[in-house]
Each structure stands twice: as C-alpha cells, then as structure tokens.
Amino acid sequence: MQHDSEYIPALRYRWLTSLYDPIIAITTREKKFKKHLIDLADIKTNDAVLDVGCGTGTLAIGIKKTASGANVIGIDGDPEILELARRKAQKEKVEIVFDQGLSFDLPYQNSQFDRCLSSLFFHHLTLDNKLRTFREIHRVLKIGGQCHIADWGKPTNLFMRLLYYQIQVLDGFKTTRDNVEGQLPALMQSSGFSNILIKEELATIFGTMTLYSAKKL
C-alpha cells in the first residue's frame, strides 16, 4: 500500500513500534481511558463496530472482550502493526478482523457500522485528512450510529499544555496542532455529526486526554 508523505506510524519511528504497548500503557492511563471509551459506546450484541487507526489492537480487543456478541473490525494503514494486533487477538482468544486501509478512504459500504471508535489516532492526521476521516466515519455509520473518540484534546491548564509539547516534538507540530486547539468537535460538526459532546478530560503525563462522543442522526 502507498502511504502519503504525511503518514505517521504508531510511535513516529518504526524502530519504536515493538515498544508501543508498554510505552502507551505507562504514559497515557490507557486502561482507564479505553475502558471509559468502551463504556460510553454502550455496545450491544450483534453491533458492527469499527476501530479506526487500531494500531496493536488493544482497544478492539477490549471492545470484543466487553461485548463478545459484537462484530469487531480494526483498520490501520500499517501492515507491520496489524500483524502485532492479529497475534495479540489470537493470544487473547478473541475473533476480530484486522483490515489494512486508510482512514480517509475506508473500504466499507455506506451505513455498515453501529459504532465507530478510535483512540490516540486523530493527532496523526493533517487537518484535511482529519476532516476526510470524519466524513468517512459518518458515511460508514448507520443512522443512529455513534462515534466515540479518545485523543489529545484542548489542555485543561497551562501545565497540561506544556506536557503536550512532548507529543508535538515526537509526532510533529503540523498534525498535533488541531487537537490542542480543540478543533475536533468543529470538524465532527462539519462532517455531519450531531450531539457532539466532550465526555471526559483526563490528566496524563503527555497532556489532556479527551473523550468525545457524537451521533449520526
């Protein structure tokens, strides 16, 4: 697959990919925020659920373990990280489909999913690709479907702002700026979403982790 030049792998540098899980677990309060995100999604048996930018599959595996009757698909652009995700799911004995593809050109039909979730992903995208991705998520959701996102958000105080510079140095300023400026809700709105809410703001050592929810009406 060809990536555009803006493609940012899980931890910016490929040699860090194998260290991704332990680093994220220690630094982002991962267990807590991913559990809260899954709880917010209120997933029912037989729901079709998409995890966009699924990386090593931790969120998708959490979804499947919480809602075992759901049909869970994870999509990511990086074949190397998808292999890690498949191995992890196998080890955890959960059935999840992991597809390779890009978030702004999702290989799914209109109105295919009940829920789309995503974590630690949108700060990897340029402004234009954030908007294209939200439009794609809106397209593949059913009417009444829900989108639940956890990612770096507008800092709740100056200290959180200063801590977020670490992410900006690691992942680059271009794609991370819209997050810290609190632009994700406006992008969701211009992509057609309704009922856009900030559900939670968690302090981490890399800044404020924000949980957003929105609906396709």
Ligand X SMILES: C[S@@+](CC[C@H](N)C(=O)[O-])C[C@H]1O[C@@H](n2cnc3c(N)ncnc32)[C@H](O)[C@@H]1O
Q: Is 212 in the site for ligand X (CB under 6 A)?
A: no
**Is 62 one of the binding residues for ligand X (CB under 6 A)?**
no
Under the binding rule (CB under 6 A), the answer on residue 77 touching ligand X is yes
C-beta closer to ligand X: residue 51 or 114: 51
Q: Report the residue from 33, 121, 164, 206 that binds ligand X according to the rule CB under 6 A.
A: 121
Q: Which of 9, 25, 28 is nearest to 17 (CA)?
A: 9
Residue type at position 197? L
Other CB atoms closer than 10 Å to residue 175's CB: what's the count?
Answer: 19
Using rule CB under 6 A, residue 209 touches ligand X? no
Q: Identify which of residues 50 and 59 has a Cβ nearer to ligand X in the complex.
A: 59
Burial grade of 126 (CB within 10 A; 0-12, 13-18, 19 or more): middle
Site string for ligand X, 91-120 (x = CB under 6 A): -----------xxx--------------xx
Question: Reduced to 3 states, what is the DSSP secondary structure of residue 70?
Answer: coil
Q: Which CB, 15 or 195, lies closer to ligand X?
A: 15
Closer to ligand X at the Cβ: 58 or 168?
A: 58
Distance (Å) of CA 209 to CA 73, 109, 187, 189, 215: 24, 31, 18, 20, 20
Residue 2: DSSP 8-state: P
Asked whether position 207 contacts ligand X by CB under 6 A, the answer is no
The least CB distance from residue 111 to ligand X, in Å, is: 21
- Alpha-helical segments (H) within 98-200: 127-140, 158-171, 173-180, 184-190
Tokens of 119: 């974590």
Residues in 166-205 that interact with ligand X by CB under 6 A: none
Asked if residue 210 binds ligand X (CB under 6 A), the reply is no
Using CB under 6 A as the binding criterion, the count of chain residues that bind ligand X stands at: 22
Please state the closest distance from residue 47 (CB atom) to ligand X, in A: 19
CB of 148 within 8 A of CB of 188?
no
Binding residues vs ligand X (CB under 6 A):
7-10, 24, 53-55, 58-59, 76-78, 81, 102-104, 119-121, 124-125
